[in-house]
Amino acid sequence: MRRILWSLLAILIPLQQARADLPPGVVGCDHFYDVAIVGNDVWVVGFPGLILHSADGGTTFEQQGPIEREALFAVQFVDARTGYISGRGGLVLGTKDGGRTWTRQETSVKEPLLALAFHGSELGLAVGNFATAVRTLDGGRTWARVSVAGEGEDPSLNGVAFLPDGRHAVVVGEFGSAFVSEDAGATFVKVDTGESDNLFSVTATKDGKVVAVGAMGVITVSDDMGKTWRRAASGTERHLFRVTAGNGKLLATGAAGLLLWAEDPASEWHATRLPTYLWVSAARLAEDGRGVAVGARAFLVLTRDGGRTWRPFGGEK
At CA 24, angle to CA 20 and CA 27, rounded to 5? 75
Q: Minimal CA–CA distance to 115: which of 62, 185, 165?
A: 185
Q: CA-to-CA distance for 34 and 253, rounded, in angstroms? A: 11
Q: Which helix (H) or strand (E) holds 312?
A: strand 311-312
Which pLDDT does position 316 carry in this prediction?
52
User: In 3-state terms, what secondary structure has residue 11?
Assistant: helix
The one-character DSSP state at 239 is -
Which pLDDT does position 66 carry in this prediction?
64
Q: Minimal CA–CA distance to 76: which of 12, 147, 159, 165?
A: 159
| pLDDT tens per residue across span 167-197 | 999 999 999 999 999 999 999 999 999 999 9
Q: CA-to-CA distance for 285 and 266, rounded, in angstroms? A: 20
Superfamily of domain 24-312: YVTN repeat-like/Quinoprotein amine dehydrogenase (2.130.10.10)
**From the first residue on, what is the mean pLDDT of each consecutive set of 10 residues in the chain (317 residues)?**
35 38 82 96 95 94 80 96 97 94 95 98 98 98 96 95 98 98 98 97 96 98 97 97 94 98 92 96 94 96 94 71
pTM score: 0.92
Which pLDDT does position 67 carry in this prediction?
67
Which pLDDT does position 18 carry in this prediction?
35
Which pLDDT does position 10 carry in this prediction?
33
How far does Cα 14 stand from its chain's mean position? 30
At CA 272, angle to CA 77 and CA 226, rounded to 5? 50
Q: Which helix (H) or strand (E) holds 7?
A: helix 2-18
